[in-house]
Amino acid sequence: QVQLVESGGGLVQAGGSLRLSCVASGSIFSINAMGWYRQAPGKQRELVARINSGGNTNYADSMKGRFTISRDNAKNTVHLQMNSLNVEDTAVYYCYARRSTAIYWGQGTQVTVSS
C-alpha cells in the first residue's frame, strides 16, 4: 500500500499562485509515476500533470505554461506549482501514485480561486 498526503490548497484570488505538495509513504519502492488530477463540481476528474520516475512530465493543455510539476525522490514528494490561477481552476486536487498496475489516491485538497 501507498499512502499519499496532500497539502497546500486554499483560497486565492484570480491571477495568484499556490503550491501543492504530496508526500508518499508506505510501499513506495517502484513507484513509476506520480501526479495530480482535479475534479470540479459537476465535472469528471481530469488529469492536471504527471511526472514519471525518469523526470518526464505531461500536462493537460490548459495547464501548460501555468503549472509546473516537480518531484523530490529523496523526500518521496511531488509538488505542483500553480501560477496565473483563474476561477476555472477551482476544484479538488488529488495526488496519485502509480506502482505497477496499482493506482493510489490522496484524500484531495480544495483549491478555490476567487474573481
User: In b/e form, how buried is each residue of 38-49, taking b as 16+ CB within 10 angstroms?
Assistant: beeeeeeeeebb
Pick from 80, 96, 81: nearest CA to 31: 96
At residue 67, the pLDDT reads 98
Q: How far apart are CA 2 and CA 112, in angstroms?
A: 27
At residue 31, the pLDDT reads 86
- Compute the average pLDDT of residues 28-52: 93
- Helical (H) or strand (E) element with 51: strand 46-52
